[in-house]
Every structure is written in C-alpha cells, then in structure tokens.
C-alpha cells in the first residue's frame, strides 16, 4: 500500500454510528448498570416534562423478565406529563443530539439530547426491535414505533394509530438484552428510592420483575418553581467563549452586546471596562471582535467586582427537603444541612452546592454486620450511582482531613453524606451523566460545604462524649458512696445514713444528673 492509499478509506460517520460502537460512553456497560441507565433516562425525562408543564409527576416503571439467561427484559415507563407532539416523536426518541435542553441556560436533569434516543439505540442493537411509544399531547393520542437509521442519525417512525382523547402523558415500551435486575446499591430500586428523596413532589411506582409493587409516595403537593433561562455570567468565561458569543451576535455595538448577552453587565460595568481597556473600540460591531481584544476583556472581567449570579435558572433540592428526607430515611442521631451561595465555573455557568451530613442511627452503609460511610451523589436532583471514583464529589469528600473533626475512621463510620450540584449545565465526565468533572470552582465549593457541616458534627461528637463522660464519672462515684458512708460512720460515730445522704447531696451538686442528662438529650436532638 502506498502512502496515499490510506486516504481511500476516509469516510464520514454519524453521531449515531459513533455511539453504536461506543455505547459504554452512554452508560451501557455492565448488565446492572445498563438497566439502571435505561430507567434513569426515562425517569429524568418524565420529571423534566412534568415540571415544564407545571404538573405534579406520576411516574410508573415496570420491568418484566423475558429470558434470564440472555438478560432479556421489557421496560415500560409511563408518566402524566405533557406528552410529545407527533412531529417531534421521532427526534425526541430516535435522533442523537436533538432536543430542547442543550442550547438553553436553564436547569434540567437531561442536558444533551442523547438519553432517550440512546435507549432506543440500545434496544435496537441488542434485540433488533423498535421502541413503542404512546403520546398524549393536546387532545391527540399517537401510537408509534421508533427506531434509528444509524448511518444518517435520523429517526424512523411507523405510526400505528391516531385518535382524539383527553389523556396526556407518555408511555414507552422497549425490549433490551444483556441487562440484569438486582437489589444492589447500584440497581433500579436504589435509583428510584434516591430519586424520590430528591423529588418529593413526584409519586413513583415501581413494579419489579417478581411483580412486587413498590410505591414511593409524593410527600409534598407543591411543584418546584419553574427555572427561568439565565444569561451566562462574565466570570468563568474564557476567550473562546466570548468570541463565540460575539461572532453570533446581531447587536450593532460591543456595548450593546455585553449588556444584553451576559448577566450583571450594567451600563456602569461597561463604563468600568472602557476605563480599563481604552485601546478597544466599544462602538464597533461584536462580530469584528478579535482574539487579543477578547482576551483583554476576559482579563478585565477579573478585575471588576460583580454581583453574584442569578439563581432564577437554578432550583436546588432545598435545605428543609434534604433535612426531612434524611431524617425520615436514616433516623440519624445528628444531622446538618448546608446550602452554599451561588458560584460560577468556566463558561460563566452558575451553580449551587447542597450538602447534608447524617451521623448515627441508620446512617452509613451496612453490609454483613459492618458499617461504612456512604456518599449519595446527585446532579440536578438526579441520583448518580456509577463512576464515583472519577467524580468531583467523592474526590472532594476523600480530600477532607476527617480526623480534624474528631472522626477517627471516616471509611468505617456511620456517616451518610448527601451532595447535590444544581446548575444550568453540569460538567459531566461523559455522555452517561454519572460523574461530574473536577472543576476547581466546584470542588472548592463542595469542600467548603462539607467542612461546614463537619464542624457542626465535631461540636456534636465533643458534646456527646463530654456529657457521657460526666454521667459515667458520677455513676462510678455513686457506687462507692454506701461503703464510704459506712466506714466514716465507724470512725466518727455519726449515723451512716446521714453521712450517705450528705455525700450523695455533694455529688448531685457537683454532677447534676438531671442537667447533664437533659444537656445530652439536647445535644442528641439538635440535628444541625
């Protein structure tokens, strides 16, 4: 073969073909993980759709085992959301990188327009069967079969029926192989349980392969506030980001572009920029902005004091909800919850960190009579069960010097830590959306939040130990009062009963049992 022959094989490939060969990037690696990934994609889409339509979500997941040996299951997901219009059914479920989420600066669990189409792909390559969908949207009920043309990344839709009706929602049925259901900490049941913790406004019903019905009931009747699209914040942008925005903008001047495109950029802030950058013509069209000028603007951004980013586009779980969920689930001896103020990471994207730390009770992970610490990870209220080793949350927890907070052996302590990251765009490490990359700003905020609740835990541990030691010393001394009183009576000819009462009174005054026990109860009941 000559040196130029290699280019005879030069071909273009669609994104669907790429993920077909690299399905593990979408989370389809390992039988248990693959099944959990399928449920994850359907549930997150259902939650987003219901919240977008201002509907309290009712979601049902049903698994039927068809053949155990080949790991052949039928997965059925049903919700009461707004449904999908007929013209978009194919793109929503059968086309990679098509959707309503990726291009908007607003918080949603799904972000990439890959998830549901990825499940359609996995069903197709493992069973050869299309995915069946029933969509009720604005009085129209459509039943269809959806599959993917891998060569073109285009959906193939076979309409089975059309009818009128008041029902709204979505039902998806798909068959997959090479998956497995179990009740492990990374299985479907645990995923749905954690989803219910972070989404108390949703009712989730799970019918497992044995026919057992598990209901995670709705605990609040309030739909979370609808996140509003937000503009990127100047801090966190890099030169390429700024140029990308500028060269697509239609404003007449750089002044107008900066104030209309980014949050917190007022006329006064533009004036400050002009003073810092007298060599830049702020009256020229943003499309004419050059690299060096953009770089200078980015550096000037860092010298200006900015108002914190807007959180209108972000809806975290909430301190009270985390507190209620962890108390009900773990019944801990101690609980502390913190919600940090909004911060920004690269790209000008705002984010909020929430951390809950539970100690004692049913906290931690119990296996074979042994207790170990447990880290519960969430991204936009969606559980992250896999790829923990490569994510910023676990990395941040492990970077803490726990002995400094009187936790001698964190790994084997009855501790559960819940960490949720809420953002308009979470930097997942891969398309499978199971771990979050270690952005410096995010890691710092997680560490700060963990250290904040850890300091409260330290106060609790010290308080409990101190109060228990006092009570123990008093009880130890009281054991000898009778004998001491008897011996003193023999030596002094004073009534032993009188001496015992006097000694007991002295001990009670020094070690006030009621006050100490009450103080201990207060420490234990003060759960952060």
Classify 202 as helix, strand or coil: coil
Find the mean pLDDT for residues 211-220: 92
Among residues 45, 61, 15, 157, which one has the least CA distance to residue 108?
45
Band the pLDDT of 104: cuts 50, 70, 90.
Answer: very low
In the block, residue with structure tokens 């009941």: 525
pLDDT tier at 105, thresholds 50, 70, 90: very low
Q: What is the pLDDT of residue 113?
A: 47
Please, what is the average pLDDT of the chain? 86
Question: For residue 12, what pLDDT is reported?
Answer: 63
| Local confidence band at 102 (pLDDT 50, 70, 90 cut-offs) | very low
| Mean pLDDT within 321-344 | 90
The arithmetic mean of pLDDT across residues 199-220, rounded, is: 93
Mean per-residue pLDDT for 32-61? 93
| Cα angle 142, 144, 146; round to 5 | 140
- Condensed to tens digits (0 to 9), the pLDDT of residues 393-444 reads 999 999 999 999 999 999 999 999 999 999 878 888 876 677 898 889 999 9
- pLDDT, residue 3, reads 54
Q: Between 469 and 121, whose confidence is greater?
A: 121
Q: What is the mean pLDDT of residues 259-279?
A: 92
Poorest-confidence range of 8-12, 384-388, 417-421? 8-12
Longest dimension (CA), the chain: 118
Fold designation for 15-216: Heat Shock Protein 90 (3.30.565)
| pTM of the predicted protein model | 0.75
Q: Please compute the mean of the pLDDT values over residues 441-464 and round it to a whole number.
A: 92
Confidence of residue 498 (pLDDT cuts 50, 70, 90): confident
- Please state, in angstroms and rounded to a whole number, the distance separating the CA atoms of residues 333 and 111: 38
Q: How many residues does the chain have?
A: 528
Residue 489 reports pLDDT greater than 70:
yes
CATH tag for 319-452 (out of 3.30.390.30, 3.30.479.10, 3.40.190.10, 3.30.230.10)? 3.30.230.10
What average pLDDT does the segment 68-77 reach? Answer: 96
Three-class DSSP labels, 335-394: EEEEECCCEEECCCEEEEEEEEEEECCCCCEEECCEEECEEEEEECCEEECCCHHHCHHH
Give the side-chain half-sphere CA count within 13 A for 163: 8
């Amino acid at each position: 073969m000559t040196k130029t022959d290699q280019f005879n094989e030069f071909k273009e490939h669609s994104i669907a073909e790429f993920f077909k060969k690299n399905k593990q990037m979408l989370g389809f690696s390992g039988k248990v993980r693959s099944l959990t990934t399928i449920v994850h994609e359907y549930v997150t889409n259902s939650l987003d759709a219901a919240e977008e339509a201002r509907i309290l979500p009712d979601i049902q997941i049903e698994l039927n085992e068809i053949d155990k040996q080949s790991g052949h299951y039928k997965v059925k997901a049903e919700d009461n959301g707004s449904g999908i219009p007929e013209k978009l059914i194919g793109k929503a479920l059968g086309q990679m990188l098509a959707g309503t989420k990726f291009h908007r600066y607003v918080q949603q669990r799904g972000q990439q327009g890959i998830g549901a189409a990825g499940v359609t792909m996995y069903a197709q390559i493992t069973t050869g069967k299309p995915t069946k969908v029933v969509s009720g949207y604005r009085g129209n009920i459509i039943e269809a079969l959806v599959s993917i043309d891998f060569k073109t990344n285009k959906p193939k839709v076979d309409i089975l029926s059309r009818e009128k009706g008041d029902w709204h929602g979505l039902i998806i049925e798909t068959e997959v192989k090479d998956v497995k259901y179990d009740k492990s900490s990374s299985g479907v049941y645990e995923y749905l349980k954690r989803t219910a913790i972070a989404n108390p406004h949703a009712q989730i019903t799970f019918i497992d392969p044995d026919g057992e019905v598990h209901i995670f009931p709705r605990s609040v009747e309030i739909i979370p506030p609808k996140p509003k699209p937000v503009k990127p914040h100047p801090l966190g942008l890099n030169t390429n980001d700024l140029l990308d925005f500028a060269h697509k903008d239609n404003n007449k001047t750089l002044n107008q572009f900066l104030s209309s495109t980014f949050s917190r950029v007022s006329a006064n802030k533009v004036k400050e920029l002009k003073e810092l950058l007298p060599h830049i013509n702020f009256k020229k069209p943003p499309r004419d902005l050059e690299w060096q000028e953009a770089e200078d603007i980015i550096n000037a951004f860092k010298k200006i004091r900015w108002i914190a980013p807007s959180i209108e586009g972000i809806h975290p779980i909430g301190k009270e909800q985390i507190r209620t969920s962890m108390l009900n689930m773990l019944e801990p001896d101690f609980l502390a919850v913190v919600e940090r103020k909004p911060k920004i990471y690269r790209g000008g994207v705002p984010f909020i960190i929430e951390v809950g730390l539970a100690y004692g009770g049913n906290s931690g992970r119990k296996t074979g009579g042994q207790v170990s610490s447990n880290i519960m990870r969430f991204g936009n209220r969606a559980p992250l069960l896999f790829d923990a080793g490569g994510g910023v949350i676990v990395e941040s927890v492990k970077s803490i010097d726990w002995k400094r907070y009187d936790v001698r052996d964190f790994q084997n302590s009855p501790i559960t830590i819940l960490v949720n990251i809420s953002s308009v765009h979470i930097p997942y490490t891969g398309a499978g959306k199971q771990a979050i990359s270690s952005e410096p700003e995010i890691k710092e905020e997680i560490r700060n939040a963990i250290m904040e609740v850890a300091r409260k835990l330290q106060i609790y541990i010290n308080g409990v130990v101190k109060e228990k030691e006092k009570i123990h010393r008093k009880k130890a001394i009281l054991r000898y009062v009778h004998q001491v009183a008897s011996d003193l009576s023999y030596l002094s000819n004073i009534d032993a009963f009188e001496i015992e009462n006097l000694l007991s009174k002295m001990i009670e005054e020094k070690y006030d049992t009621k006050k100490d026990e009450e103080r201990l109860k207060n420490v234990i009941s003060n759960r952060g």
